[in-house]
Amino acid sequence: MNAFFAALWAEALKARRSKVPLLTAAGFLILPVIGGLFMFILKDPERAKTMGLISVKAQITAAVADWPTYFGMLTLGTAIGGAILFAIITAWVFGREFSDHTAKELLALPTSRGAIVGAKFALIALWALGLALLVFMVGLGVGMAVRIPGWSPELAWASFWAVLFTALLTLMLTPFVALLASAGRGYLPPLGWALLMMALAQVASAMGWADWFPWAVPGLLSSFNGPRSEPIALHSYLAVLLACIVGVVATFALWQSADQTR
């Protein structure tokens, strides 16, 4: 356990000394800002038009300016934006060891490889969930500033858990990114995998198989057009859990069998 916390501290130190946490936070915070802009446009299309903003597309996309719609946008944005940003975070945490040529030294440390990989996954989880929490809190501030109607504490609380749960499901799909970053020894293979999964999720949704395709499940949880368009049953969550377990086990196995020439 001491080895794990030591490895976690080392991974956190690497992240703190880089610009990646700041960049990912800035990228994710675009979500509540854009959502607030949509709400502003929908509240007063004529005023937005005089300011040079286009209201027609926003009306088609979001339908009505209220807190349920806004929270739905945050939840769906967490699924879509999280699929990209969480993949970037995971690719960086695992892939940087190979891009910076530190993997060989890391494998030679007396710290067990299991502790190293576990610490990397723990850092990714804390990082991703922290970003989701930050987005929700900033989203509350933006919504209050825009004065969106339809507020209720019960809605806010339920939406808070919806955002975190969506972030958790999206996070559970990142172990395969870690696996590709480790096997591919860099950033490009895992990022290519993430983009491929996003494309296949769209295909699965169009063909009606989204509830069976793990990478499409987070996007099914919410839609800013109202109720979810696809049912979320137990098999969908089990599919995500299975993908997570396979990815984690495969990543641990790969690192355990890796030689020091990597």
- C-alpha count within 13 angstroms, C-beta hemisphere, residue 91: 20
User: What pLDDT digit, counting tens, does each position of 124-139 carry?
Assistant: 999 999 999 999 999 9
Beta-carbon count within 10 A of 142 CB: 22
What is the pLDDT, as a whole number, of residue 227? 43
Q: What is the residue range of 151's domain? A: 2-257
Domain count, the chain: 1
State the average pLDDT over residues 25-34: 92
Confidence grade of residue 50 (pLDDT, cut at 50, 70, 90):
low
Does residue 233 belong to any structural domain of this protein? Answer: yes
- Per the domain annotation, does 262 fall within a domain? no
Q: Which residues contact 144 (CB under 8 A, 6 or more apart)?
A: none
Q: Is residue 56 part of a domain?
A: yes
Given a cut of 90, whether residue 108 has pLDDT beyond it is: no
Contact 42, 62 (CB under 8 A): yes
Domain-located, residue 120: yes
* 215-227: average pLDDT: 70
Of 18-27, 50-59, 142-151, where does mean pLDDT reach its minimum? 50-59
SS3 content of the chain, % helix, strand, coil (to 5): 80, 0, 20
The pLDDT score that the predictor gives to residue 262 is: 53
